[in-house]
Amino acid sequence: MNRSQLVLTSAALVAGCLLSSASADLVFLAATTSGSTTNWTQYASLADLASNTGGSSAGSAGASLLSTDGIWTDGVHVYKTTADATGVAGTYNNLYVRYNSLADLNADAGGTVFNMTQGMYYNEDVIAGGTNGWVFRTASFGGASNIGMYAFGDLANLLANSSFYAAGFTAGPVDGANQFWAYNGTYYGSNVVGGAVTGFTTWPSGPDLYNGTNSVTIGSTGFDASARFLAIDSSLIGTVPAPSAIALLGLAGVGISRRRRA
């Protein structure tokens, strides 16, 4: 983590989230990892992501992006959940790091660090990007197949671990490798069966996600449980360097060994 990164309060976190993004050009991202390199591929639609076709490079990250890090966005910034060297003992993440773009996250440049009040296991997700400011956090209550969810009024409450609702939810995952994310009020989840992503599900609102209502699922092939996903405004990708030969092989699906979520 760069020394220039600052540790700020929850008030600063909220202030940073009140800025408006420059555009509303939705793209879907998938991250696959080979060795210490994580390659991002962008897709124009969920259907393209699900079929793993028509993708183009959205950059890559080196060793600063760990296989145990979570990635999420509030529609204004890009975040990762990660850990420092104290008090975690290889068990859970205890920091949020906010970046101005995916490119900054990949380079681990200009990040702002926030300490969590309560740590997160590696297979837990933060889901921001709803139109009402709500933030969800999945919670592993006792095992990979027993997942619940916390609901927070905003990011400041997430940081303070002050939820307004905490319980299991009807739209629970098949196993702990499922991931959830959101963009502009629409919520998404991957469906993992037997170590492979078999489909993606969408919900039109946060309550629909929580209650498992009004969902639509499309099938998917080409990703295993270690892949990471986002829906993001294209303006948050930032400047993408020309892909290396290794990255191009990754986009072609050659030599990829994707991470396993804890």
Q: State pLDDT tens for residues 75-100.
A: 999 999 999 876 566 778 999 999 99
Q: State pLDDT tens for residues 27-53.
A: 999 999 988 999 999 999 999 999 999
pLDDT of residue 245: 47
The closest of 217, 230, 215, 186 to 69, measured between CA atoms, is: 230
Q: 225 and 197 in contact (C-beta within 8 Å)?
A: yes
Q: Where along the chain do its domains lie?
A: 6-251
| DSSP 8-state secondary structure symbol assigned to residue 251 | H
Q: How far apart are CA 81 and CA 60, in angstroms?
A: 17
Q: How far apart are CA 11 and CA 250, in angstroms?
A: 40
pLDDT of residue 172: 62
What's the pTM value of the predicted model, to 2 decimals? 0.80
Q: What is the mean pLDDT of each run of 10 residues along the chain (262 residues)?
A: 35 38 74 94 97 96 92 95 75 92 97 92 88 85 64 93 81 70 94 92 90 93 93 91 50 42 38
The closest of 220, 262, 227 to 33, measured between CA atoms, is: 227
